[in-house]
């Protein structure tokens, strides 16, 4: 996959004492192959490689003390640039209700994303109305009604036999009367680009004058996704893209191509089926993820969202202040992992090498519980100063939590590894940590 291929290239470059035009060319050839395999659109690959090459052969890289690092920096920056640079905000600054029109093919994730977006906006104290114009499939209307119920958003009831345009007009009236801030309009999709569908969605767009017309597209479709996006962008005045199923997209081609090919920014990414599985899209974080640096910022953000806000702040403060990480924090981390949907969800977000290390630590749900048991059997002093846990204390802790002394030892060494990681994150930031993990 793209991340692995690119991090291989990077590892090689990092080892080079001197970069020359020729080993840069070799590296770029590797990068190009990796992008082709990842199903990135050809024009995008061409521009990307060209940009990197120009900057790499210039003094920006070759003159640097560590040219390998500098080249990685350039690759990172160009990845960010090709995905649109800055994070693109949702623009709902219009006289309310602000309408969001959802467009896209069948199965792209329009209905699911409508529900997720409703939740996201409601978390920001917006009053949201969900409307379904998918009159061809009654089950689709029920699907949206259910999502409304789960999120607590209002749902506009649809009378059978009404046409999409009539529904929209009535829904807008309703939203004005009930002071909704945002109206999300879910529409019908087809399996492929089709005249009737395009006519219908264009008509709705003219009628609704949406603040946002978002094209919803399935990242797993790779280049097909991008071609569909282009076809829609030619007919509809899109304001942005929601890239869904990024969690299932091992290749990453769509994420890299869609902005350049359509000219429209990716505003959100779908990262899980569940209702909180929608995230604002940050090109820089995505670039880090693609390069195998992982999405540590995203992880911290998610921890803040999922766990007790105060607890997260306490941990962050402690990390920042450089105060040493103790077994209480270690236990907190395990508890947060549980809240965040377990190890597998968490591992996906970690940098590749780090996640490998975590897997080697062999942490699964059962072990998490056992770990908590062992830590519970320690005295407060032992938790703060694990160094004092020598043989007799180990025996006492093992007996108290019903495990063997070996297991207590294993826990302590896992804790040591985690403490090292935390220290590195504190002191040198990401770059240092990645270097250390790579060895």
Where along the sequence are the contacts to Mg ion (CB under 5 A)? 110-111, 140
How many other β-carbons are positioned within 10 Å of the β-carbon of residue 193?
13
- Where do we find the tokens 């649109």? 84
* Shortest distance, position 106 Cβ to Mg ion, whole Å: 7
Residue closer to Mg ion, measured from CB, 187 or 401 = 187
Integer Cα distance of 194 and 204 in angstroms: 16
Determine the angle formed by the axes of helices 253-262 and 283-290, rounding to 10 degrees.
140
Show the tokens assigned to 52: 């990197």
Chosen residue from 28, 35, 70, 108 binding ligand GDP by CB under 6 A: 108
* Binding site listing for GTP: 104-111, 186-190, 244-247
- Using the rule CB under 6 A, is 276 a contact of ligand GDP? no
- Residue 110 DSSP one-character state: H
> In the structure encoding, which two tokens stand for residue 280, read together?
């604002």
CB of 334 to ligand GDP, least distance (A): 25
Q: Which is nearer to Mg ion, 196 or 391 (CB)?
A: 196
In the complex, least distance from residue 13 CB atom to ligand GDP, rounded to whole angstroms: 33
| Choice from 55, 180, 245, 349 touching ligand GDP (CB under 6 A) | 245
Contact predicate 131/186, CB 8 Å: yes
221 is a site residue for ligand GDP (CB under 6 A): no
Binding-site positions: 104-111, 186-190, 244-247
277 binds, among ligand GDP, Mg ion, none (CB under 5 to 8 A by kind): ligand GDP
Nearer to ligand GDP, 106 or 304 (CB): 106
Closest CA to 414 of 351, 352, 363: 363
Q: Which stretch binds ligand GDP (CB under 6 A): 269-277, 318-326, 361-369, 411-419?
A: 269-277
End-to-end, the C-alpha distance of the chain in Å comes to: 22
CB 284 within 8 A of CB 255: no
Choose the binding region for ligand GDP from 85-93, 152-160, 270-278, 404-412 (rule: CB under 6 A): 270-278
**Between 194 and 273, whose beta carbon lies closer to ligand GDP?**
273
Candidate segments 31-39, 107-115, 249-257, 415-423, binder of ligand GDP by CB under 6 A: 107-115
Q: In terms of CB distance, is 210 or 351 closer to Mg ion?
A: 210
8 sits near ligand GDP (criterion: CB under 6 A): no
For 192-216, the DSSP string reads S--HHHHHHHHHHHHHH--SEEEEE
Nearer to ligand GDP, 102 or 389 (CB): 102
d(C-alpha 85, C-alpha 122), whole Å? 27
What is the enclosing helix (H) or strand (E) of 278?
strand 278-280
Q: Is 109 in the site for ligand GDP (CB under 6 A)?
A: yes
With binding defined as CB under 6 A, does residue 272 bind ligand GDP? yes
Which window, 76-84, 240-248, 367-375, 384-392, contacts ligand GDP (CB under 6 A)?
Answer: 240-248
Question: Strand order in 154-155's β-sheet?
Answer: 154-155, 128-132, 182-186, 98-103, 212-218, 240-244, 266-270, 278-280
State yes or no: residue 252 binds ligand GDP (CB under 6 A): no
DSSP state of 247: G
Total of chain residues touching ligand GDP, rule CB under 6 A: 19
301 sits near ligand GDP (criterion: CB under 6 A):
no
Cβ closest to Mg ion, residue 274 vs residue 432: 274
β-pair type (212-218, 128-132): unpaired
Are 258 and 229 spatial neighbours (Cβ–Cβ below 8 Å)? yes
Partner that binds at residue 280, options ligand GDP, Mg ion, none, CB closer than 5 to 8 Å by kind: none
Cα–Cα distance, 104 to 98 (Å, whole number): 20
Q: How far is CA 176 from CA 144, 152, 173, 186, in A?
A: 21, 19, 5, 18
73 binds, among ligand GDP, Mg ion, none (CB under 5 to 8 A by kind): none
Site residues (vs ligand GDP, CB under 6 A): 104, 106-112, 189, 216, 244-245, 247-248, 270-273, 277
């Amino acid at each position: 996959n793209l991340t692995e291929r690119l991090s291989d290239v990077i590892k090689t470059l990092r080892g080079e004492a001197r970069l020359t035009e020729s080993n840069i060319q070799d590296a770029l050839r590797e990068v190009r192959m990796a992008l082709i395999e990842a199903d990135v659109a050809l024009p995008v690959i061409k521009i990307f490689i060209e940009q990197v090459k120009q900057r790499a052969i210039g003094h920006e890289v070759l003159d640097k003390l560590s040219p390998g690092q500098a080249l990685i920096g350039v690759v990172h920056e160009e990845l960010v640039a090709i995905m649109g640079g800055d994070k693109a905000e949702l623009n709902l600054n219009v006289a309310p209700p602000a309408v969001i029109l959802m467009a896209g093919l069948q199965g792209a994730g329009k209905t699911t994303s409508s529900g997720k977006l409703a939740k996201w906006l409601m978390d920001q104290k917006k009053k949201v109305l969900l409307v379904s114009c998918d009159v061809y499939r009654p089950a689709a209307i029920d699907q949206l009604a259910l999502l409304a119920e789960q999120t607590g958003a209002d749902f506009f009831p649809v009378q059978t036999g009404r046409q999409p345009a009539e529904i929209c007009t009535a829904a807008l009236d309703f939203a004005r009367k009930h002071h909704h801030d945002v109206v999300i309009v879910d529409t019908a999709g087809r399996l492929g680009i089709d005249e009737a569908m395009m006519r219908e969605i264009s008509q709705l767009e003219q009628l609704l004058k949406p603040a946002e017309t978002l094209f919803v597209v399935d990242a797993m479709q790779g280049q097909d996704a991008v071609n569909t996006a282009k076809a829609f962008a030619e007919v509809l005045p899109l304001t942005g893209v929601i890239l869904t199923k990024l969690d299932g997209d091992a290749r990453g081609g769509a994420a890299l191509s869609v902005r350049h090919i359509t000219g429209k920014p990716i505003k959100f990414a779908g990262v899980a089926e569940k209702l909180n599985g929608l995230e604002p899209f940050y090109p820089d974080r995505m670039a880090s993820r693609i390069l195998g640096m992982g999405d540590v910022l995203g992880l911290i953000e998610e921890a803040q969202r999922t766990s007790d806000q105060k607890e997260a702040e306490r941990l962050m403060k402690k990390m920042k202040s450089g105060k040493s990480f103790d077994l209480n924090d270690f236990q907190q981390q395990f508890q947060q992992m549980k809240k965040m949907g377990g190890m597998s969800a968490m591992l996906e977000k970690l940098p590749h090498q780090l996640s490998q290390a975590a897997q080697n630590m062999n942490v699964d749900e059962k072990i998490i519980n056992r770990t908590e048991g062992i830590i519970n059997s320690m005295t407060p002093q032992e938790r703060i100063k694990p160094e004092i846990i020598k043989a007799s204390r180990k025996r006492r802790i093992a007996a108290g939590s019903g495990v063997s002394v070996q297991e207590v030892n294993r826990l302590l060494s896992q804790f040591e590894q985690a403490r090292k990681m935390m220290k590195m994150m504190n002191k040198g930031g990401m770059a240092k940590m990645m270097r250390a993990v790579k060895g």
